């Protein structure tokens, strides 16, 4: 099935449920769509939603904050430079906050950070003015540059935003998720709800495999043996 626009998806929901706008108003179907998008984005890290932000750590401050609208943090790089996010850097290792507190019980160790933990909510609303707190240890001894990699919740499908990555590239899955929402709301036949949940699970598995495959392959390395290249000493 081809992708959906906002209009064709809402029409499909009405057609599949055989319920018109007198019961399924635009406000209700919009909620189905919103709930379904959030479900998909939480279950599958969509590459199209990847973002990164660059900034400076603050010396003697053991935390940074993820940007507003963050769904989850993918990783945190810290550079040796204090002026540019280029050159030598290291990826911090994600740990539980309890590990960080045990590692630096007195909270006095300073240096180049090695570990990080989500010590607040990692996910924030798009309009939030504060965001998820990320604790790092050791506490930075300088204003090192950092690059935070994360997934942001994109603008959802609506009458004002008539297509999205999910509606165009995961149309079946989005429809089935909406139908699960719809039949649950309508208290419809359990077998229909179970049918569309099963169809959704099939689609989300395929979509997840597709996203993972994109990260593992490219035109240069796909199906090519990885042979170490020996470089002559200068």
Give the tokens for residue 123. 């996910």
The pLDDT of residue 121 is 52
What average pLDDT does the chain have?
87
C-alpha distance across the termini of the chain, in Å? 58
Q: How does DSSP classify residue 47?
A: G
Domain residue extents for the chain: 6-45+154-214, 49-152
Label the pairing between strands 133-137 and 63-65.
antiparallel
Structure confidence by residue, pLDDT tens digits, 169-222: 999 999 999 999 999 999 989 999 999 999 999 999 999 888 876 655 555 445
In three-state secondary structure terms, 43 is helix
Three-state secondary structure string covering 80-113: CCCCCCCCCEEECEECCHHHHHHHCCCCCCEECC
- Report the predicted TM-score, pTM, of the whole model to 2 decimal places: 0.76
Q: Tell me: pLDDT of 104 over 50.
A: yes
Structure confidence by residue, pLDDT tens digits, 70-96: 888 899 999 999 998 888 999 999 999
Confidence class of residue 59 from pLDDT cuts 50, 70 and 90?
Answer: very high
Which run of H or E residues covers position 53?
strand 50-56
């Amino acid at each position: 099935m081809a992708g959906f626009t906002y209009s064709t998806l809402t029409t499909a929901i009405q057609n599949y449920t055989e319920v018109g706008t007198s019961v399924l108003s635009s406000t209700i179907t919009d909620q189905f769509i919103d709930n379904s998008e959030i479900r998909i984005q939480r279950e599958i890290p969509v590459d199209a939603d990847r973002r990164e932000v660059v900034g400076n750590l603050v010396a003697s401050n053991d935390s940074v904050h993820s940007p507003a609208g963050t769904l989850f943090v993918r990783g945190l790089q810290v550079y040796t430079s204090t002026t540019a996010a280029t050159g030598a850097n290291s990826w911090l290792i994600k740990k539980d906050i309890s590990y960080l507190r045990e590692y630096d019980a007195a909270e006095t160790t300073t240096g180049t950070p090695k570990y990080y933990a989500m010590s607040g909510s990692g996910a924030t609303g798009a309009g939030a003015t504060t965001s998820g707190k990320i604790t790092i240890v050791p506490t930075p001894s300088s204003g090192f540059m950092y690059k935070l990699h994360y997934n942001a919740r994109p603008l959802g499908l609506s009458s004002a935003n008539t297509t999205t990555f999910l509606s165009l590239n995961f149309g079946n899955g989005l429809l089935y998720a909406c139908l699960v929402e719809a039949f649950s709301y309508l208290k419809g036949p359990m077998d229909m709800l179970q049918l569309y949940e099963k169809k959704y699970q099939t689609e989300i598995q395929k979509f997840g495999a597709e996203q993972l495959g994109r990260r593992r392959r490219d035109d240069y390395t796909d199906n090519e043996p990885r042979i170490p290249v020996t470089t002559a000493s200068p």
